[in-house]
A and B are shown apart, each in its own frame.
Chain A
């Protein structure tokens, strides 16, 4: 396995500073003359002793990002290497502040939570409209651009409804971040956008209380506790939490996906319009279910059946709903643009590398940068 360090050149791309070293991949800034987009290279950790899911995650990340229409809520994929010889992804570097940076300030004011949450829900809705479910939403995977738009990163566990699911057979144990994982994900459901709504509910809970809704599970048995345990209502931990926020958070964290917001767009609307949130028993809940309730739910959880996932936006054989997808540029024009951008960024594309034939646009200048490294999760 080759070593990668600043100065290493891969297919014409010169590695700069390493900005992330995770269990699945390392991420380097790319050096070179400034182009329209600041770039990073993501290199999966492969070789003896590394997890097989790393390489599959690389393939998934490449295919899902490559299939998304260009937009502000995910990094633009610029080029990629061959999965068997030189696996890497060259993507837009998202300049901004990670959600992690806000967590240390939790519990946060409700209006600030609503602002951040609404931005994340809009980003999720943009994905879901393209039949993509992120499935690994967590604070380290959300960056806010200086303008306030949320950007979702790391699509290594995502599901694209139009593509074969390369991770379908690899889920003998639930893969993803267990802290924010939706109950149906524990059972291998990978095509329900409401799983992302659940994860966002977990993040909102953390922002509102400074605590995790279901702790930090270390075993599958602990992970399954969310099938029968409620989270402690946020207002019981932080009395200043407004009822509308507790209503939103607890609705996102419903066990049954049908009881959550039906779409991230609906959640974004609720967060942006607190006065119009319909308050139910959730808003006034003061404590979580007692021992008897938990025992009853635990018994029932043995027969837990995930709710049916909603059908994809475009049903096979029905081109009539194709207009649900954002427009794309013509491939020829997009390829030309991609090559120009990649070259002007100081990197030439070698034969082994692939330049993605999607459109690119100039990134807006930014003065905000990530303030610190992500905290381990």
Chain B
């Protein structure tokens, strides 16, 4: 959505998940597709957003408009960027930003994206923020006596040279968080981007992961 050539198909899929109870929050590319101003988008992304906006019908537009910036369920907060100012699309790319987001959320767990690489931030026993680069597939004990902020990464648009998609699973009962990387047909996704006439850079990024 905003980078790829399948925005309608993606939104239809997510709308079905939402109808079944999935938590869905608005991201900056979604907001841009709705015509809301966004200062953080680069030239390629802006070109893609203009194309995406033209693809969306009233149904997709209405669905995107209905999405909240944050959702808090129990001690878990979901937000695309930073809970400190969700509408400003601040990149949580360091200890300071992670701490601000966690403090604003006030939850034991914050799950976010926006930054494309998987990362786990946590509050140490002394109150200092610490960070950890997770290993995909390795469950991490995340006891709720501490606060955790997980950047789950992106499905597509990698930045680390690995063209596999990112996701994470959180087992709230056992307080375990597992990050994953999963291969997908990135060649087909890149082909569709080129066929749609979107910027070549977007196709290359999906292929090469940089």
Interface residues of A (CB under 8 A from B): 52, 55-56, 59, 62-63, 66-67, 82-84, 161-166, 168-170, 312, 314-317, 319, 322, 354, 357
Contact = CB atoms under 8 A, between A and B. Distances in A.
Interface string B150-182: 000000000010101000000000100000010
A357 B181 contact: no
B181 A52 contact: no
Contacts of B134: 162, 316
B143 A83 contact: yes
Which of A82, A165, A314, A317 counts the most B-chain CB atoms under 10 A from its CB?
A317
A315 B136 CA distance: 9
Contact of A316 (B124, B135, B139, B141): B135
Nearest to B134: A316
Interface in B66-122: 120, 122
A59 B181 contact: no
Given A164-B120, A168-B124, A83 B136 contact: no
Given A316-B133, A317-B160, A319-B181, A163 B174 contact: no
**Chain A interface, >50% SS class:** loop
Given A59-B143, A164-B122, A314 B160 contact: no
Which of A165, A316, A354 counts the most B-chain CB atoms under 10 A from its CB?
A316
Contacts of B160: 317
Contacts of B143: 59, 83
B136 A319 contact: yes
B122 A322 contact: no
Nearest to B132: A164
B141 A66 contact: yes
A63 B136 CA distance: 17
A62 B125 contact: no
17 contacts: A52-B125, A52-B126, A56-B125, A67-B139, A162-B134, A162-B140, A163-B132, A165-B132, A168-B130, A169-B130, A170-B124, A170-B125, A314-B138, A315-B135, A317-B181, A319-B136, A319-B137
A317 B140 CA distance: 15
A67 B141 contact: yes
B195 interface: no
Contacts of A170: 124-126
A338 to B, nearest CB: 12
B137 A163 contact: no
B51 to A, nearest CB: 30
A130 B78 CA distance: 32
Contact of B128 (A82, A169, A322): A169
A95 B16 CA distance: 56
Contacts of A59: 143, 145
Contact of B126 (A83, A169, A357): A169
Which of B135, B137, B181 counts the most A-chain CB atoms under 10 A from its CB?
B135
Nearest to A162: B138
B153 to A, nearest CB: 10
Contacts of B130: 164-165, 168-169
A169 B162 contact: no
A59 B141 CA distance: 10
Nearest to B160: A317
B76 to A, nearest CB: 18
A165 B140 CA distance: 11
Contact of A322 (B126, B137, B139, B145): B137
A310 to B, nearest CB: 15
A331 to B, nearest CB: 9
Contacts of B174: 354, 357
B126 A314 contact: no
A84 B108 CA distance: 14
Nearest to A357: B174
A86 to B, nearest CB: 12
Contacts of B128: 169
Nearest to B182: A319
B125 A55 contact: yes
Given A59-B145, A67-B139, A170-B126, 12 more contacts: A55-B125, A59-B143, A63-B141, A83-B143, A162-B140, A163-B140, A166-B124, A166-B125, A168-B124, A169-B126, A169-B130, A319-B181
